[in-house]
Amino acid sequence: MDLQFTPEEEAFRAEVRAFLKDHLPPQLAAKVKAGQRLTRADQEGWHAILNKKGWLAYHWPKEYGGTGWTAIQKFIFDDECAMAGGPRLVPFGLSMLGPVLIKYGNEEQKKRWLPRILGGDDWWCQGYSEPGAGSDLASLKTTAVREGDHYVVNGQKTWTTQGQHANMMFCLVRTDRQAKAQSGISFVLIDMNQPGVEVRPIRTLDGDAEVNEVFLTDVKVPLENLVGEENKGWTYAKYLLTYERTGIAGVGFSMAALEKLKAIASRVQRNGKPLAQDPQFATRMAQVEIDLNNMATTNLRVLASVQGGGVPGAESSMLKIRGTVIRQELLSLIRRAMGPYALPYIEAAQFAEYDQEPVGPKEAATAAAAYFNYRKLSIFGGSNEIQRNIISKMILGL
């Protein structure tokens, strides 16, 4: 039993920290810390910086341009990035499609797509959810019918995050309508720049428009864009979702949010004293901090158990539930700390380019919007209720 990081791990942390100090643009970090919206250029710029260092696809195997880091190193990297205000990496190519191609793609697909993910040549989006298939993903209805050397795809996808930027979509489609739900699904790669693909923004409750509906009408997909075997897509889809949940605890993001909350609470006044000294508010802050410290250790325990290089199994469901609830509580406290100044909503103030005098404390502009936006944490990637189903089935055996 030893909770200390090894000297090698500490040295690695110092290396990451030094790199971030020299290469993470301060204006970008400031945006992230302020909770302001990022532009496509912000995200592409950060990817390019990491790619140049060879740290972009840090969870891929070395032979494909990854780092070969241990689970603990990945954790340290995530942690340091979050604390420094590094933007969350756009996960669609890097964390979702990449690992699926590496495990299930053929040589040609790997050669063609993986370098393009690293180079930022493609912006990928995820074609999973449909209007009638959310948590019950296997009930998806989008069809792909084979015609000569291609499939013809028809249907509708939704909740497509950053689909407005995407030129490619990895997509679950039904290739066998007779088979039962999970067994007639295939995993295909769709070129978004073709007739029949229409992307419509969905405005979220905070006023943002990062998710979309994607309508697919007689869209052509070359057969070479089928990943793995036809009708085996559900296996790949599940693999992707497990991968998506590594790091799902978001401990680094929560630690950064806690720092922000403490800074706010030491400045904002109630009854003539800093909010941090208000017994009720201070109690809520203390409770979430203790919960987060426990969570950080739970997270490390799960990571230590997969040090061999695997991905966590159903334990990641545990991390997802607890991690998202903690992060949402922190965002909730930041919102509450703003008092009446949580109310004003100035759209332009969601962006770093806003140069007017802030209304109320400077964090107020994004506090309520971020709180509402991040209600999604407990819904996406398999809602927390689905995660409880997974725990119930896979760990508890009920």
Partner 1 sequence: MNFEHNEDRRMLADALNRYLSEQYPAEYRNQAAYGEAGYSAETYAKLAEIGAIGALFKEADGGLGGAGPDIHLVFEALGNHLVAEPLLGALLVGRALAEAGTPAQKARLEDIVAGTALAALAHDEPANHYELGRVATTAVKSGDGWRIDGAKAVVPFGDQAQLLLVSARTAGAVDDEAGISLFLVPGDAAGISARGYGRIDGGHAAELRFAGVQVGADALLGAEGQGCALLERIVGYGLLALAAESLGAMDKAKGDTLEYLRTRKQFGVPIGSFQALQHRMADMLLEVEQARSAVINAAAAIDETDRVTREKALSAAKYSVGKIGTLIAEEAIQMHGGIGVTWELPLAHYAKRLVMIDHQLGDMDHHLARWMALSA
Position 298 contacts partner 1 (CB under 8 A): yes
- CA–CA separation, 81 vs 307, rounded Å? 21
Q: Are 251 and 296 in contact (CB under 8 A)?
A: yes
Binder among 11, 283, 309, 343 for partner 1 (CB under 8 A): 283
In 3D, which of 4, 5, 20, 10 has the Cα closest to residue 256? 20
Least distance from partner 1 to the Cβ atom of residue 336, Å = 18
Site for partner 1 in 323-382 (CB under 8 A): none
Q: Given the complex with partner 1, which of 5 and 354 has the nearer CB atom?
A: 5
Least distance from partner 1 to the Cβ atom of residue 262, Å = 10
Position 280 contacts partner 1 (CB under 8 A): no
In 3D, which of 219, 212, 175 has the Cα closest to residue 195? 219
Q: Are 238 and 11 in contact (CB under 8 A)?
A: no
- CA–CA separation, 265 vs 81, rounded Å? 24
Q: Given the complex with partner 1, which of 348 and 395 has the nearer CB atom?
A: 395
Binder among 131, 297, 309, 348 for partner 1 (CB under 8 A): 297
Binder among 167, 217, 269, 293 for partner 1 (CB under 8 A): 293
Q: Are 368 and 269 in contact (CB under 8 A)?
A: no
Does residue 8 have an active-site annotation?
A: no
Position 269 contacts partner 1 (CB under 8 A): no
Position 392 contacts partner 1 (CB under 8 A): yes
Position 135 contacts partner 1 (CB under 8 A): no
- CA–CA separation, 346 vs 331, rounded Å? 19
- CA–CA separation, 379 vs 398, rounded Å? 23
Position 306 contacts partner 1 (CB under 8 A): no
In 3D, which of 308, 253, 263, 228 has the Cα closest to residue 84? 253
CB count in 10 Å sphere of residue 141: 14
Question: What six digits make up the tokens of 90?
Answer: 């756009």
Long-range contacts at 7-14 (CB < 8 A, ≥ 24 apart) = 9/72, 9/73, 9/76, 12/73, 12/76, 13/76, 13/80
Binder among 18, 30, 263, 286 for partner 1 (CB under 8 A): 286
Task: Please pick, among 80, 130, 210, 244, the residue that the annotation labels catalytic.
Answer: 244
Q: Given the complex with partner 1, which of 304 and 343 has the nearer CB atom?
A: 304
CA-based end-to-end distance of the chain = 32
Binding segment (CB under 8 A) for partner 1, from list 172-180, 286-294, 335-343, 344-352? 286-294
Position 383 contacts partner 1 (CB under 8 A): no
Least distance from partner 1 to the Cβ atom of residue 363, Å = 21
Position 291 contacts partner 1 (CB under 8 A): yes
Binding segment (CB under 8 A) for partner 1, from list 99-107, 144-152, 169-177, 317-325? 317-325
- CA–CA separation, 201 vs 210, rounded Å? 7
Instruction: Give the residues lining the site for partner 1 (CB under 8 A).
Output: 1-6, 9, 72, 282-283, 286-287, 290-291, 293-298, 300-301, 304-305, 318, 321-322, 385, 387-389, 391-392, 395-398
List the catalytic residues. 244
